[in-house]
Amino acid sequence: MNLLTEMADKNITIAICSIPNTGKSTLFNKLTGAHQAVGNWAGVSVEKKTGHFKLNGYNINLIDLPGAYSITPTSIEETVVRDYLLKTPPDYIINIIDARNMYRSLGLTLQLAQSGIPMVVAVNMMDEARRAGLEIDIKKLSNHLGCQVIPIVARTGEGVDYLKNALLGIITDPSRFRPPYISRPPIVEDAIVTLAKKIEKIHPDPALNKTFIAERLLESGDLPKDVPINKEALKEIVKEVKHLRSKTEQSLGQDLTITCAQCRFNSARGLVNEATSETLKVPDKFTNALDRVLLNKYAGLPMFFFIMFLLFQGIYALGTPLQALVGDFFSDIQSSLHNTSLLESLPDFVSNLLIDGVLNGLGIVISFFPLIAIFFIFMSLIEDSGYMARAAFLLDRLMHSLGLDGKAFINILLGYGCNVPAVMGTRILSSRHNRIVTMLLIPFTLCSARFQVFVFLAAILFAPSVAPWVVFGLYVLSFVMVFVVGFILKLFKFAGKPEPFIMEIPPYRVPTVNTVVLRAWMEMKSFIYRASTYIVGGVVLVWLLTNLPVDSQPGSIDTWAGQIGQFLQPIFHPIGIGWREVIALIFGFVAKEIVVGSMAVIYGTNTATQILASITPLQGISFMVFTLLYTPCIATIAAIKSESRSWKITGISLALGLIIAWVTAFVVYQGGLVLGFH
């Protein structure tokens, strides 16, 4: 055999599959060295991600799946899991059990174990279990489940080497795995056997156990989607399934879905009783005590706003001095470059483009680097501590008035970091309708890119003591607008449809330095990527527009930018936005950071003094309000398009942003004028 085919033989796909918030992504990161987002709430991962690692010469493709309670999906993230497992079964599965809460995890474990795909089970969070004095009889678990069970602490990597060995063991000798037995009522057992025989004949995917497929078919009403059988063969079977389903349901007097879950969880309960010293009372004391304060009936909500305020203060107080430092550094470079002979030898047009265009524009954008790092460090503290689910609990009532629920609020809160993952995060919501409504609201959150625009402008236009309050005011406005727009949508009969609300509340965890730093680093990387690609591109374009045609006075009304701005002036005049800002807004459509870069380019060197000379504080506020509310960046639009799969919704989102932004800015500007501000 030649070397090439031998290598090809060694590609193996392993999927990590378990219920939400058990540490799948943490383990995935440990095994592959990737930096998947980790957070302490259910529904952090909403799509499957692939990573790679080597195991004794095998090339492992590791798949990190979203959390799912079962292969009978109740939301999109769970559908992702089912579709993946049934349509493209992996070679092996790593299933994770939460050591503190084995019962809950075991339902899925037992279901997966029936599938016929060889599996290794990891019991994660052993550190927390130990701290709580919980003993787990790993051997007994392993005997009952028919597969290797490895205790691990995914966070620290403890036990991960044993897990790798177990994987190796099962790869070299799959016979080590045998499906566990789940006792079912005889009538269900018979139905499954009958169906399994039928399926055997038409021979579906051999990777999956026939009994498993039979149970899937019986359990779920959603036949074609559930099983990888060709359509023709399926038709034949559907009739049989319907017949068997109604027969068993009649005789048991209960939904078959419930009966099947009951069988699984009865086994799970038995197993837990046998394998653990005692059932643990979660939440732990610490969680209990903290929640008594943070989820207090009356103080909880005010405390939420106060925490948000403190976070803002922290980010602002730590970030802005650093930003100024980096900003100064860049302007120093800029002024020293102006006099170098190298640049003087270049044509004026080119050297101006380089210095006043690229360097000036990009320098200002990059000066926000530390601010963004600090922002995401704080954000990930919230995400990894477990407070996210608490915020959802507290805001559920308010969200309910929009026909949405607390989970949708998690997405709104994520939007304050970046709109794109927030839009994708709506997959944790169970109805399409509510996902769409949430997606339409997310663009009104003040994301970290818009934050930069506001910090930049507020620092120029307002006194240092006032500036943070202006920015904070914009946060408040953004929060209020999310609800206002929600109510407006409701007026147009576009409200969420109240749907059942079930949300896990995880115990508090101390965020690890690792997670927090990695998270900030990932955001930095994507910031650098944006800065080096379309932010540079945008800035260069703006510079060209404000400097062409060549015979025009740069930055004047005669340039192309001036012409465009002039053309749009009738729309923007009533809200006090001049043609230069209009150009910035147009480019801000690509990415909000470009707004800052373009302002720097348009106003040239000494940007701050120039801006101060030509924009009044009121005009500045109107501009910021417009920037806050109008159409989010292209990436968000793309996310909305791909998540909603509808141009109509994408169009509505665009239009909604523009209209709301204009109307609000109009009210602010004209109102301000009437009140005598300028």
Partner 1 sequence: MKIVENAECVIQSVKDNGGFGNRLVQMGVLPGSHLKIIRVGFKGSTVEVMIDQGQSIALRSKELEMLDCKLVAIPLSALSTGDDEKYRIKKFNGGQGFLKKMKDRKINISDIFEIIDDHPFELKTDKGIIAVGRGEAEKIIVEPAD
The footprint of ligand GTP (CB under 6 A) covers 20-26, 38-40, 42-45, 66-67, 124-125, 127-128, 153-155, 384, 509, 512, 515
Q: Residue 503 corresponds to which amino acid?
A: M
Which lies closer to ligand GTP via its Cβ, residue 388 or residue 482? 388
Least CB distance to Mg ion at residue 392 (A): 17
By CB under 8 A, residue 502 contacts partner 1: yes
Closest contact distance (angstroms) between CB of 485 and partner 1 is 22
The site that binds partner 1 (CB under 8 A) totals a number of residues, namely 47
Comparing CA positions, the residue from 652, 673, 593, 672 lying closest to residue 627 is 593
Residues 208-267 that bind partner 1 (CB under 8 A): 254-255, 257-258, 261-262, 265
Structure tokens, 271: 């197993």
Examine residue 14 and tell whether it contacts partner 1 (CB under 8 A). Answer: no
Which residue in this structure is represented by tokens 């170098």? 340
Query: Of 588, 563, 311, which is closest to residue 456 (Cα–Cα)?
Result: 588
- For the record, the structure tokens of 186 come out as 């005889």
| Cβ nearer to partner 1, comparing 110 with 171 | 110
Strands (E), 11-55: 11-17, 49-55
Q: Tell me the C-alpha distance between 202 and 554, whole Å.
A: 75
Q: Which two tokens stand for residue 472?
A: 């904070």
| Angle at alpha carbon of residue 286, lines to 280 and 287, rounded to 5° | 75
Whole-Å CA distances, 358 to 156, 237, 339, 546, 579? 43, 65, 17, 13, 21
Long-range CB contacts for residues 305-310, cutoff 8 Å, separation at least 24: 307/387, 308/475, 309/472
**H-type alpha helices, 132-185:** 138-145, 160-172
- Judged by beta carbon distances under 5 to 8 A according to partner kind, the member of Mg ion, partner 1, ligand GTP, none in contact with residue 178 is none
Q: Is 464 in the site for partner 1 (CB under 8 A)?
A: no
**Cross-strand pairs, 276:** 136
Does the footprint of partner 1 cover residue 393 (CB under 8 A)? yes
**Binding residue (CB under 5 A) for Mg ion from 15, 27, 44, 167:** 44
Sheet strand arrangement including 149-151: 49-55, 58-64, 11-17, 92-98, 119-124, 149-151
Residue 46 CB, nearest approach to ligand GTP (Å): 8
Cβ-based nearer residue to partner 1, 81 or 458: 81
| Binds partner 1 (CB under 8 A): choice among 22, 72, 385, 434 | 72
CA atoms within 13 A on the CB side of 489: 28
Residue 416: beta bridge partners?
none
* Residue 104 Cβ vs Mg ion, minimum distance, rounded to whole Å: 16
Q: Which does 505 bind (CB under 5 to 8 A by kind): partner 1, Mg ion, ligand GTP, none?
A: partner 1
Provide the mask over 336-355, with x wherever binding to partner 1 is found by CB under 8 A and - wherever it is not. Answer: --------------------
Minimum separation from the CB atom of position 45 to Mg ion (A): 3
- Measured CA to CA, the distance from residue 188 to residue 514 in angstroms comes to 48
Minimum distance of partner 1 from residue 645's CB (angstroms): 21
Binding mask 75-114 for partner 1 (x = CB under 8 A): -------------------------xx-xx--x-------
* Residue 500 touches which member of ligand GTP, partner 1, Mg ion, none, C-beta under 5-8 Å by kind: partner 1
Candidates 23, 327, 361, 406: give the one binding partner 1 (CB under 8 A). Answer: 406
Taking the C-alpha atoms of residue 400 and residue 108, their distance in angstroms, rounded to an integer, is: 30
Residue 3 amino acid letter: L
Name the H helices within 158-255: 160-172, 186-202, 210-219, 223-226, 231-252
For residues 226, 228, 231 and 235, what is the CA-based torsion angle, rounded to 10 degrees?
Answer: -50
Using CB under 8 A, which of 271, 392, 595, 633 touches partner 1?
A: 392
Q: Binds 43, which of ligand GTP, Mg ion, partner 1, none (CB < 5 to 8 A, cut-off by type)? A: ligand GTP
Q: Which residue is nearest to ligand GTP (CB)?
A: 67
- Which of ligand GTP, partner 1, Mg ion, none interacts with 297 (beta carbon under 5 to 8 A by kind)? partner 1
Of the candidate residues 168, 196, 223, 295, the single one contacting partner 1 (CB under 8 A): 295
Between CA 420 and CA 412 the distance in angstroms is 11
Binding to partner 1 by CB under 8 A, coded x per residue (else -) over 565-594, reads: ------------------------------
Write down the least CB distance from residue 392 to ligand GTP, Å. Answer: 13
- Pick what 320 binds: partner 1, ligand GTP, Mg ion, none; C-beta below 5 to 8 Å, kind-dependent: none
The whole-angstrom separation of Cα 394 and Cα 615 is 40
Cβ–Cβ < 8 Å for 553, 563: no
User: Which tokens is 286 given?
Assistant: 């610490």
Contact between residue 28 and residue 15 where contact means Cβ atoms under 8 Å apart: no
Joined tokens for residue 167? 């994987």
Binding test (CB under 8 A) with partner 1, winner from 279, 334, 512, 670: 279
Q: Is residue 280 involved in binding partner 1 (CB under 8 A)?
A: yes
C-alpha 676/C-alpha 40 separation (Å) is 49
Nearer to Mg ion, 65 or 656 (CB): 65
CB of 676 to ligand GTP, least distance (A): 52
Distance set, CA 638 to CA 284, 420, 535 (Å): 42, 9, 17
Residues in the chain: 678
- If the CB atoms of residues 276 and 320 are measured against ligand GTP, the closer one turns out to be 276
Nearest to Mg ion of 44, 149 (CB atom): 44
509 binds, among ligand GTP, partner 1, Mg ion, none (CB under 5 to 8 A by kind): ligand GTP
Give the pair of three-digit tokens for residue 642.
Answer: 């791909």
Cα end-to-end distance, the chain, whole Å? 82
650 part of the interface to Mg ion, by CB under 5 A: no
- Contact partner, 632, from partner 1, ligand GTP, Mg ion, none, Cβ < 5-8 Å per class: none
Query: Does position 610 bind Mg ion by CB under 5 A?
Result: no
Q: Is 25 in the site for Mg ion (CB under 5 A)?
A: yes
- Please choose which of ligand GTP, partner 1, Mg ion, none residue 257 contacts, taking the beta carbon within 5 to 8 angstroms, the exact cut-off set by kind: partner 1
Binding site for partner 1 (CB under 8 A): 69-70, 72, 74, 100-101, 103-104, 107, 254-255, 257-258, 261-262, 265, 268-269, 272, 279-283, 291, 295, 297-298, 300-301, 389, 392-394, 396-397, 400, 405-406, 430, 499-505
Q: Which residue ranges make up the site for Mg ion (CB under 5 A)?
A: 24-25, 44-45
